[in-house]
Structure 1
Amino acid sequence: MGKSDLKHIQDMIIQDKFIVSDHARTRMFQRNVTTDELIKAVNNSSIIEEYPDDRPCPSVLLLGFVNNEAFHVVVADCTDHARIITVYYPAKDKWIENKIRVDDK
């Protein structure tokens, strides 16, 4: 596949062809985020970073919103499904406008 496609990821979510990793499920529980909120966040998101060399599938970092709060979702864009890798609320000291990483150098 190589490069991720937001529409493909969103289609996989709509078609219920997605897997939530154990790690992401734990993070959702810790952050009190439901599967419905996750789905809404992904379906109303934008790609802010791409990781085309990730394996087994390229992945992306999405910026969506849960209850009007910025929310990041890392999703692997596989041919026949989307895999939710992790989810988190971006730390204000690590992100500019929730979209650009603060350079730690």
Structure 2
Amino acid sequence: MEKLDCEIIKEYFRNEEFIISHHARSRMFERNVSTDDLKQIVQNSEIIESYPDDVPCPSVLLLGVANDEPYHVVVAQCDDHARVITVYMPTKDKWHEDRIRM
């Protein structure tokens, strides 16, 4: 496995080499986030936390924007694809400036 890298994840999304988990798809539906929105969020994102010990693939927490709203996306970086674990909007009571856990 390569180092966790936002550019690798973005490349997976550009190449349509990503899977959206059932949980993430449910959260996207609840939050009215389309697959196109998800792609935009990832393409305009940065890694704010890293979880290298996650299995079966290490993952990261991305902060990105779609429709002028901040979103967090947890994405696993597998050897040949990305797997979206969840998508949510950071809340002010849990996140400072959407990127620092309180």
Q: TM-score band (shorter)?
A: over 0.9
**Which whole-Å CA distance do the structure 2 matches of 1:61 and 1:80 have between them?**
19
Partner residue of 1:6?
Answer: 6
Alpha-carbon distance, 1:3 to partner: 3.2
Determine if contact 1:60/1:75 at 8 Å carries over to the other structure: yes
Partner residue of 1:48?
Answer: 48
- One-letter amino acid of the structure 1 residue matched with residue 50 of structure 2: E
RMSD value, Cα: 0.8
Structure 2 unpaired stretches of 5+: none
Aligned length: 102
Alpha-carbon distance, 1:88 to partner: 0.1
Q: Percent identity, please.
A: 61
Secondary structure of the residue that 2:9 maps to in structure 1?
Answer: helix
Partner residue of 1:84?
Answer: 84
Determine if contact 1:46/1:62 at 8 Å carries over to the other structure: yes
**Which whole-Å CA distance do the structure 1 matches of 2:66 and 2:6 have between them?**
18
**Which whole-Å CA distance do the structure 2 matches of 1:52 and 1:79 have between them?**
13
Runs of 4 or more above 6 Å deviation? none
**Which whole-Å CA distance do the structure 1 matches of 2:2 and 2:15 have between them?**
22
**Which whole-Å CA distance do the structure 2 matches of 1:79 and 1:6 have between them?**
14
TM-score, structure 1 length as denominator? 0.95
Determine if contact 1:2/1:53 at 8 Å carries over to the other structure: no
Determine if contact 1:3/1:58 at 8 Å carries over to the other structure: no
TM-score, structure 2 length as denominator? 0.97
- One-letter amino acid of the structure 1 residue matched with residue 13 of structure 2: I
Partner residue of 2:73?
Answer: 73
